Structure 1
Amino acid sequence: MEGKIVDSVIQERKTFQDRGTGFKGKMNAPLFAWPWKNLGNFKYLFYLALLAKYLYSTTGEETKENNWCFHILLLFYLRGHVYQLWSAYNYMFFLNQNRRISQAGIDYKQIDAEWHWDNFLILQGIIGALAYWSFPSLTNIPFWDGRGIICCLALHIGVSEPLYYWLHRLLHSPNLFANYHWLHHSSKVLHPFTAGHATFLEHLILCIVLGVPTLGTSFIGYGSISMMYSYILLFDILRCLGHSNVEVIPHYLFETVPLLKYLICTPTYHNIHHMDTRTNFCLFMPVYDILGKTVNSHYLDLHKEINSRTNRRAPDFVFLAHVVDIMSGMHAPFVFRSFNSIPFSTKFFLFPMWPFTFLVMLAMWAKSKTFLFNFYNLRSRLHQTWVVPRFGFQYFLPFAADGINKQIEEAILRADRLGVKVISLAALNKNEGLNGGGTLFVNKHPNLKVRVVHGNTLTAAVILNEIPRDVDEVFLTGATSKLGRAIALYLARRRVMVLMLTQSTERFNKIQKEVPEEFQKFLVQVTKYQAAKRCKTWIVGKWSTPREQSWAPSGTHFHQFVVPPIIPFRRDCTYGKLAAMKLPEDVEGLGSCEYTMERGVVHACHAGGVVHFLEGWTHHEVGAINVEQIDVVWKAALRQGLKPM
């Protein structure tokens, strides 16, 4: 039954499906663009001017008029937080996956289009400031007046609601939709920030709808500061509610109190408007759609269906990631969507949040479960990223190993129960010293249906294909690790001299014996960095200090497979990024950047799991890397549309 009602809604609006995208060229209509469109972040100077005026007034005789500068600033801060908190909840897939209305992901294109979603807050702040400076009498209002609350509600229900309803219907007329309203409907998946994604003209109209109850009540003489704050913040909360992609209102409320279905516009209600643009035009109260005979007949059935969901859609592929450090822990879609959509780098605004994030880390350490981080679709198959809530340094604490392995094991068993085809382990989740590159779990559970993949075969392939064919000597650190061993053996067969930095002669000899005798001379054990002072190709698999890097000759290129990546101290050298590949062009719903990777780019171990799934391979890829498979996996990746960086 699930999905049938959604399909019928989609079929009902088939002729309207691409209506928004058909008008994307029409962006030159009057009042379409925002006046400060080309200012970028300099648009916030308006608030700086308000702050300066307020601070200046505190040095002299303070007036109520200048107090409104403070109230406008505070309202902007509070309103911004309302939208940000709703955004955070919308991205908490681990809490709300079963109650999501649209199962599609928000892609980079939509995030970029909605980047300046807060333009309307600036507009309303400017209008509010002009109103109170033009009518000084409005500043003489008390903190509380009960009559104002009643009057404000009456004006909202009697004026704002029907006014918005008819203006909204007017915006759906062919001419206005083609010139203006298509922009709002161009967002494929609703999100709280979508509420602000509209043209300048539409938000001027919204200012009238918002201003009738607030300024109207003040002009009547019943205005109060508490009325202003409560109405405006409640207005924002309900706007976020309507544009949420998560249904939060239980259906039994409508069955218990039938009157509520005429008074509350749920997320499902407004989502249907974006599926069927001929229905559900109201602001917050469906009663006006009922009076106008524009209610979608499937609304309550769809709302009930979403509320009754118990089984989430099982992904076909899972990438089991982990947090690198406390700073990168804030590079999550439920923290800042825009920040998450660009490669991670340390920003100044993250530092005030560090103490809170540290406390969250402690809570996660004490008691936590693997959670769904993000997802995307590739060839109509669902790919998800789950995160083991452990930070990088915790993997190197001896007493934490058992707990981490238990969480990884639980994630694998959960994936097996859900019917996941492939689960790929990220960096430290497959650490050789922790679980033997995943061997521990495969041996413990020999009947697993899900394929466990460490993806290191493709990681090795990416690194090896970055090395120019004319290179005849490389310096390799982390030489006896899983990746280091495979790289050394492959290069030796290619007759490249490999200087393997290791203190263990026993481990070196073991690796050297894995190649035919004619190639063994190309593997050379070295114990100090000084041995590489004439080698311009370094492959770094172990973190290197500035002193260790100083032994590299000028012009050296540092390839690397160490997490976190080494810091580029040498200006006369070049540094490669971690091994990565670009996902195929047909990926859908991807709006998150994987750590420091560019948009649409994932770590090679992630890509290795994707290739394993797309190729339909049925073997586990755990433990030591099969050197014979390096070229096989590389060719398969290229065949499936993945691209080297």
Structure 2
Amino acid sequence: MIMTNTAPLFAWHWQNLGTLKYMLLGPLVGKVVHSRLQGHDDLASNWCFHILLMSFLRFHLFMWYTNVCNMLFLTRNRRIFTQGVDFDQIDKERNWDNFVIFQALVASVAMYLLPDGFANLPLWETKGLVTLLVVHVIVSEPIYYWVHRLLHGNYLFYPFHHFHHSSTVPQPVTAGSTTFLEELLVVIVIGLPILGCCLSGYGSKTVIYGYVIVFDFLRCFGYSNVEIVPHWIFESFPLFRYLLYTPTYYSLHHSEMKSNYCLFMPLYDAMWNTLNPNSWDLHKKITQEAGKSTTVPDFVFLAHVVDITSALHVPFVFRSFSSMPYSVRLFLVPYWPFTFVVMLVMWARAKTFLLSFYKLRGRLHQTWVVPRFGFQYFLPFACNGINKHIEDAILRADKLGVKVISLAALNKNEALNGGGTLFVKKHPNLKVRVVHGNTLTAAVILNEIHDNVKEVFLTGATSKLGRAIALYLCRRGVRVLVSLAHSFVVPPIFAFRRDCTYGDLAAMKLPDDVEGLGSCEYTMGRGIVHACHAGGVVHSLEGWSHHEVGALDVDRIDVVWKAALKHGLQPVSSLPK
């Protein structure tokens, strides 16, 4: 996200460098390598090494704390803002780690000016810990409070601080979504305790490492949007509520803005009368409702993992990666062995879990994932276990009050469960409607075939989709025998023949008023879902009361197509390239 505000000290000096901005840390790497090659010192006393290590730890702390917060199967009932993180917010926060680079550069200059840097600092110094805490509480906390309050004034909020508050749903990385001026002020806040500790002669490596990591952890904690502090602590120890803020406490500042300005200690809001009166009541309400399922989706899309590398294309692993269409990247390779082990664990123990959600026309739509990988669906001995997972998900949706559950790709495999027929026959009293969504898939494919086409060569294994498409074309007077290869199953076919034109997977773009959608569905673009997913959405929006399982009803293809267009869904082929 490029910052375009023209106010001085708004933009970062390296904003046009992209990923090349990490080269700014190159001199520190060069210093470490050169020192090791020359045998001048060991890593323990090399301050460049410590700065790089600290930056690495900080980066991963913010990234993985954010990932955990996006594990909706763990956090869904403890979220403060219940809406999802959309693409706009992810793009705004794409350069959240600028502050890590900037503080590393500031630290390198500071260490260069000190006579011995890290060389003579002891590993531990108790007096240093006391000094650091005193300076933080007496100096850093009030400075941050008044600077923060000043940023909310009429002169500085819109030129600078408004960008930070434009992120609708707080997440740990939102803490780093700041302007250059704001980060200059944060450097003073975090630097004064460290500087005071070192100048007093009580500095130590452990104290400095500990302070920075704890500082970052508390920022992640406050911005997490997940409340984990039990209310009984405040009831048993009333003073504690003034010593440590909570995610609920910060959320009120993020949404209402004119209160709760503190860094970590609400004491200063209480002292200067800016404490939001709803802080403790809201905290109590959220913690008491934790563990309860307070929202029921109208529609559930039951997905599965295609392969091992695409398993990393989920919001709780790499948020920014999942916000783009999936493709194999080199940075995924080192994670392959770990993901393989996770796959084995999921195969043995995991149950269906919540992956993501969005809202459409005020209705909550969720994506649940069966913990099975594509190749497992073709293992004969795995079929019963897979069907058991799908059945459990359907029964769970039925119990919750979900209206429609749509089966993705291999979850509705004809050989596996007859396109969902198995579950409908086994549980005839289901209130939730089971939908394979293939009627709309067929409609998308058929509407990509021009009216002037008189002959089509249909290839591949016989399927309910292929059969319905062939019958429909025959009714239209087309001779079904390519000049074009349409793909309607995952994974997509490889485009290797030069004498053929290959179409995209059957898909549709969701209406523009969709809310909270922040991840791409496999190889689909932003806001685009597979046609079977869209078919379930239409089924839900129309309020149809029938199951859509088994063979396709050719007579309903046009009905579903018109309903999809009526609700604002668009075929991918109609979108501008």
Q: Deviations over 1:281-328 (max 9, x none)?
A: 000011111111111111111001101112230001000000001010
Q: 2:8 aligns with which of 27, 30, 34?
A: 30
Which one of 394, 411, 427 corresponds to residue 393 of structure 2?
Answer: 411
Contact 2:36 2:42 in 1 (8 A): no
Q: By how many angstroms is 1:251 displaced?
A: 1.1
2: CA distance, partners of 1:154 / 1:61: 39
Are the aligned partners of 2:305 and 2:373 in contact in 1 as well (CA < 8 Å)? Answer: yes
Aligned: 1:111 with 2:38: no
Give 1:101's match in structure 2, choosing from 76, 80, 92. 80
Are the aligned partners of 2:3 and 2:15 in contact in 1 as well (CA < 8 Å)?
no
Q: Does 1:614 align with 2:541?
A: yes
Pair 1:435–1:374, CA change in 2 (3 A): same
Instruction: Name 2:530's counterpart in structure 1.
Output: 603
Instruction: Tell me how far apart the structure 1 counterparts of residues 351 and 461 of structure 2 sit (CA, whole Å).
Output: 34
How big is each residue's C-alpha offset from its partner over 1:480-510, in whole Å with a ceiling of 9 and x where there is no partner?
21101001111111121212xxxxxxxxxxx
Shift of 1:571: 4.0
For 1:219 and 1:50, locate their aligned partners in 2 and report how far apart those are by CA, in whole Å.
Answer: 24
Matches within 5 A, 1:425-444: 425-444=407-426
In the alignment, which residue of structure 2 is the partner of 1:567? Answer: 494
Question: Runs of 5+ in structure 1 lacking a partner?
Answer: 1-23, 500-534, 537-556
Give the structure 2 partner of residue 89 of structure 1.
68
The separation in 2 between residues aligned to 1:49 and 1:581, in whole angstroms, is 48
Alignment partner of 1:148 out of 114, 120, 128: 128
Of 157, 167, 178, 1:177 maps to: 157
Could you say which structure has the larger radius of gyration? 1
**Distance (whole Å) between structure 1 residues aligned to residue 41 and residue 6 of structure 2:** 43
Distance 1:573 1:114 in 2: 41
Identical-pair percentage: 62
Task: Give the C-alpha shift of residue 64 in structure 1.
Answer: 7.6
- In 2: Cα distance, 1:300 partner to 1:204 partner: 32
SS at match of 1:602: strand
Measured against aligned partners, the alpha-carbon deviations of 1:161-196 in whole angstroms (never above 9, x if no partner) come to 111011111111111112111111111110111000
Structure 2 gap ranges (5+): 573-577
- The one-letter amino acid paired with 2:194 is T
Q: Is the 8 A contact 1:192 1:241 kept in 2?
A: yes
Within 5 Å, which residues of 2 pair with 1:34-45? 34-45=12-23
Amino acid in structure 2 at the alignment position of 1:152 = L
* C-alpha displacement of 1:77: 0.9
**138-147 or 430-439, which deviates more:** 138-147
User: What letter is aligned with 1:459?
Assistant: T
1:304 alignment partner AA: K
Mark the CA change 1:398 to 1:64 in structure 2 (over 3 Å): closer, same or farther: closer
Q: Partner residue of 1:138? A: 117
Shift of 1:276: 1.6
Whether the aligned pair in 2 keeps the contact of 1:333 and 1:592 (CA below 8 Å) is yes
Q: Write the distance in 1 (CA, Å) between the matches of 2:322 and 2:99.
A: 23
Query: Aligned partner of 1:131: which letter?
Result: A
Q: CA deviation at 1:476?
A: 1.6
* Residue in structure 2 matched with residue 584 of structure 1 by the alignment: 511
| Partner-residue secondary structure (3-state), 1:59 | helix
SS at match of 1:587: coil
Instruction: Provide the rounded CA distance (Å) in 2 between the counterparts of 1:213 and 1:378.
Output: 48
Q: How does 1:14-93 map to 2 (within 5 A)?
A: 27-63=5-41, 67-93=46-72
Root-mean-square deviation (CA), in Å?
A: 1.4
CA contact (8 A) 1:97 1:312 kept: no
Aligned residues: 567
How far apart in 2 are the matches of 1:44 and 1:174? 35
CA distance in 1, matches of 2:117, 2:164: 34
> How do 1:216-615 and structure 2 match up within 5 A?
216-309=196-289, 310-499=292-481, 535-536=482-483, 557-615=484-542
Aligned to 2:575: none
Which residue is equivalent to 1:195?
175
Identify the range of structure 1 (304-313 vs 341-350) with the bigger mean alpha-carbon deviation. Answer: 304-313
Whichever residue aligns with residue 318 of structure 1, its letter is: V
Counterparts of 1:572 and 1:41 in 2: how far apart (Å)?
A: 39
